[in-house]
Structure 1
Amino acid sequence: MPIRVRGPRPAKSPRARAGRGAPSGRLRIRNLTLTAVATALAVLVVTVPSEATHTPPRTGFESAAGARWTGADEERSLLAAVDRYSDRVTVDRIGTTRQGRPLRLVRIGGGRPEALTVLLVCSQHGDEPAGREVCLETIRDLGYATDPATRGLLSRTEILVLPTANPDGLAAGTRGNADGLDINRDHLALRTAEARALAAVIRDRAPDVIEDLHEYGATPPFYDKDLYALWPRSLNADDRVHDASERLVERYVRPAARDAGFSSGRYGVWTDPVTGGALKQTGGDGQERILRNTAALKHAIGLLVEDRADALPEAEQTDPAQGQRRRVRSQRVALEALFAYADEERDRIRAATARSRAAGSADRGPVYLGGADNEAPEPGEVLADPPCGYRLSADRYADVRDELALHGVRSRPDGDGVYVPLGQPARKLIPLLLDRRATYHLTNGQPDTAC
């Protein structure tokens, strides 16, 4: 039977502008019927045709009832088995880490030009494994699902999964990669092999929705919810993409978590345990080098999900497997809500991402070098009248040519160097890469103001 989720659905509100908090108000209730995809995800034993001669593979985590995480060899075997069995699953190697481990991208479904594309980025931080487990189970469940509804949905939805975004960190049990770099702080500079591979996927596949799966350490009693979620807070995000992302968080993911018995909050916001009011913000800002925000600059609806890694109840401390199963279950609920959103609001999503891409060439509005949707930028952080483009000398261009290409930024020859015009879909990304005033810029471009 389909899973049914009851959750609050407020009337659409305008975007919270800089210096203002996100809108609040009493939420109205309506029923959501999750899609056949969510139904397939909700079961660990998948029905296969009677003529099948083998059983769907299980993850190491499932086989151990949550007592340990799935190993690298077990992941490789599972992906190979699903790839062999299912004609709608393809596994490709898209990169190699410094220590020689493969970066694999799994493609499920699609096949139509108008297909909606959803990208799941799992465990960018190597010491946050719960999201990876859900991603592996999802690949298996969707690959082996046989019901017509799921097959129909996957024919019009392409699901891309990067099941282990940081293989070296996973092997070492570290947040960073083999170079000690935080991949989720590298989506502008692209210094890491892992971020470069992901940037190429986003450039080439143009996903409409990107979910970034993480875990966090709790600080009771102010910051200890089972599941936190957040949308892109960058002021450079197109309003349509921003609003659709916030809608995903507030009308789908958080209500689904609460209905499943998990506590939920907005990532980065400490709350009073008695009143529930916000006390302070310790994370979740608007810096574009984080995938949640970079996704919006590349015209995708962005979602960050963080489950609580700490074993707070006594039962979880006594039996760690209970806590690990809870972590995976909460991530699964969030992912089911994402698929329900993608199915129910397909037209809204496609309109938001398409209009965001088209806006770059004609946009003449400001570009922000700081601030967030709930934090006003400083005066020096606003390019109120952005330049027409940036000129780069041949030497400077040689230093950043590959990164610009990975970001999908177009340029043209200009004398001894190149010219990067702002009139392109990457308009609001370009100053962050080339303007000397931007915090994480790649090089100092020469602004061209003679439009």
Structure 2
Amino acid sequence: MLSSRLGVLMSAALLAACASTPLPPWPTHPSSSSKDAAATRPQAPVSTGRVVPPPLGTSRGQVETAPVADSPLQSRDIGQEAPAADLPYSPAVAARFPAPDVRYDTPGLEPGRRSFSTNAEIADWLHALAGSSRRPTLTELITMGTSQRGVPIHALVITQASGTDAVALDNSKRPTILLIGQQHGDEPAGAEALMVLARELSQGLLEPMLQRINVIVVPRANPDGAQAGQRVTANGVDMNRDHLLLNTPEAQALAKLVSKYRPMAVIDSHEYTVIGRYLQKFNAIQRYDALLQHATTVNEPEFVTKAATQWYLEPMRKALGDQQLTADWYYTTSTNPNDRTLSMGGAQPDTGRNVNGLKNAVSLLVETRGVGIGRTDIQRRVHTQVTAITSALQTTAERASDLQQVRSFVNRDISSQACRGNVAIEAVQTPEKREVVMLDPNTGADVAQQFDWNSSLHLRTQKTRPRPCGYWLSAHASAAAERLEMLGVQVMRVAEPGNVLADTYSENSRQTMDRPDVRGTAADSAPIVRVGVTPMRGSIDIPEGSYYVPLNQPLANLVVAALEPDTQSSFFANRIIDDLGSVARIMAIPSLVFDDND
């Protein structure tokens, strides 16, 4: 059982030894100020044949949208959906997933429709919401960036703060929650659900939550992939493995949004494969309506993980159960037909889930059944997303002040650890055995099987090093400095030459390989460089125009993930830094002069 407190206050001697920040009490119930959120929490009326929350379906009028012109992007318009999947299961399996009592009404969910909402329809929907809000609620449609094929990537800011800019949201003292949909273009239920939620937050049942929280909604993060009906972006990169490297404009757009608004919670909406590999390997079909997972990567803050599990996932599972929807931990299996192992979402700091966790946000993955089954059960899939995400919104409202306290503590604690103790460099999943229930493809009956299971809940640390005070980057590593700044990291430019105590990296081995992933290999265009290194201590000269990245900042653990070269996700392994001599670990507080604008 998890402790009911963030931690016991340490003795003065222990605090002096580790120089960490004193731990605040861990609230087992919402704080007194958060309890006020109960008054603003939507209360569903009791009525037969309806579900919570009632107005999230046909009980509200549909947002008016303008006629949609044909898209100029011709790869395959989402309005011309691929042929329906030939589902290899019986009516008995289909009977396990009845439609919900409520129906949702986005353009892509209209009766008789063969396609999901197009990029233009989503843009029209968001424009209509942004133009129809009334005080105290404010909405603003932001163009976060542009996809590789020139499609705008939109975010809708919904708030009752004094304004919709980042400063106004920060001054409101309300936590901001970011909702992201369709990073993978062939996973449409998240986008449809977020369109519904954007409407209900801006002008519907969920609007009272805005007295406690700010919300940013990104219904479709990968518009090119959605238009083509494919998982990856236009250049073949899986953007959900690109949140540390930021090689795609789509991942860069999300990184800049997160850096600007600093959300305390991020919900990443996906769908998972139902048949495919599971039928081929196990002669079974996926059973669960939702698969859930919080951030699980090396150096993830302990108390952010506690908040994710106790405050978010436990109520979310209950909310799903109350709607007769099933849930389990997220898992997948590799594309290798001979590999019968199931793996939770990975431990690498490259996914949105893990990178946002290293930004000290509660970061959750919500996956619904969907990949490979076309429009089958689409109302149930959207209902599952709406139910899970509404629970996350309610938690954020009820725990508003508690989340502020955790964020403040974690930011100060991480910043205080610079130059002290050790830091984990790399960790891997733990092999276990676990029983998982799937469905018989003919009878629809539950089939429980024991599987080899790679758990991300208990990571095994593979490598640690003394925690540096910061990192030095040569002037030639400007691309790395730019990516770090996009991630929200403070990077300082050296104005005058100096000398510092540092660990440089001596290379012991080198191997070129594909970047491994829990699904097999990450979709990427270039192999990675895996090196073995030995840190070598000594004084180094620091030239003018080079960079210093201090670790006495809240995103220090993200910096470690990017700059330690001998991990598969690092900037060096992925060729953003092309020379080991362009990075060093600074082992004493440097006496350097930096540019004023830093």
TM range (shorter): 0.7 to 0.9
Q: Is the 8 A contact 2:329 2:344 kept in 1?
A: no
2:568 matched residue in structure 1: 439
Cα-to-partner distance string for 1:355-377 (whole Å, 9 max, x where unaligned):
22222220245233223563443
Instruction: Please give the residue correspondences for 1:69-218 in structure 2 after superposition, counting only pairs within 5 Å.
Output: 69-87=116-134, 88-111=138-161, 113-145=172-204, 151-218=207-274
In structure 2, the CA distance between the partners of 1:202 and 1:37, relative to structure 1 (3 Å rule), is farther
Q: Is the 8 A contact 2:271 2:371 kept in 1?
A: no
In structure 2, the CA distance between the partners of 1:108 and 1:388, relative to structure 1 (3 Å rule), is same
* Distance in 1, Cα, partners of 2:43 & 2:252: 30
In the superposition, the TM-score normalised over structure 1's length comes to 0.81
Q: Is the 8 A contact 2:174 2:400 kept in 1?
A: no
Cα-to-partner distance string for 1:35-82 (whole Å, 9 max, x where unaligned):
22986675224669xxxxx96665212323675311222212211211
2:315 matched residue in structure 1: 252
Identity over aligned pairs, percent: 26
Q: Which structure has the highest helix share of the two?
A: 1
2:555 matched residue in structure 1: 426
SS where residue 557 of structure 2 aligns?
coil
* Distance in 2, Cα, partners of 1:126 & 1:431: 31
Is 1:295 the counterpart of 2:295? The answer is: no
2:588 matched residue in structure 1: 450
Q: For residue 473 of structure 2, what is the amino acid of its counterpart? A: L
2:78 matched residue in structure 1: none
Q: Report how many aligned residue pairs link the two structures.
A: 400
In the superposition, the TM-score normalised over structure 2's length comes to 0.62
In structure 2, the CA distance between the partners of 1:321 and 1:369, relative to structure 1 (3 Å rule), is closer
Q: For residue 286 of structure 1, what is the amino acid of its counterpart? A: A
In structure 2, the CA distance between the partners of 1:37 and 1:117, relative to structure 1 (3 Å rule), is farther
In structure 2, the CA distance between the partners of 1:72 and 1:411, relative to structure 1 (3 Å rule), is closer
Cα-to-partner distance string for 1:209-233 (whole Å, 9 max, x where unaligned):
0000000013364853111101111
1:152 is displaced (CA, Å) by: 4.4
* Distance in 1, Cα, partners of 2:113 & 2:5: 43
RMSD: 2.8
Q: For residue 419 of structure 1, what is the amino acid of its counterpart? A: Y
Q: Is the 8 A contact 2:224 2:234 kept in 1?
A: yes
Q: Is the 8 A contact 1:109 1:154 kept in 2?
A: yes
Instruction: Please give the residue correspondences for 1:15-26 in structure 2 after superposition, counting only pairs within 5 Å.
Output: none
* Distance in 1, Cα, partners of 2:145 & 2:248: 11
Q: Is the 8 A contact 2:209 2:394 kept in 1?
A: no
In structure 2, the CA distance between the partners of 1:252 and 1:42, relative to structure 1 (3 Å rule), is farther
Is 1:368 the counterpart of 2:425? The answer is: yes
Q: Which structure has the highest strand share of the two?
A: 2
1:413 is displaced (CA, Å) by: 3.0
Q: For residue 343 of structure 1, what is the amino acid of its counterpart? A: A
1:22 matched residue in structure 2: none
1:119 is displaced (CA, Å) by: 0.1
Is 1:405 the counterpart of 2:455? The answer is: no
2:574 matched residue in structure 1: none
* Distance in 2, Cα, partners of 1:155 & 1:437: 46
Q: Is the 8 A contact 1:230 1:249 kept in 2?
A: no
In structure 2, the CA distance between the partners of 1:176 and 1:285, relative to structure 1 (3 Å rule), is same
In structure 2, the CA distance between the partners of 1:115 and 1:65, relative to structure 1 (3 Å rule), is farther
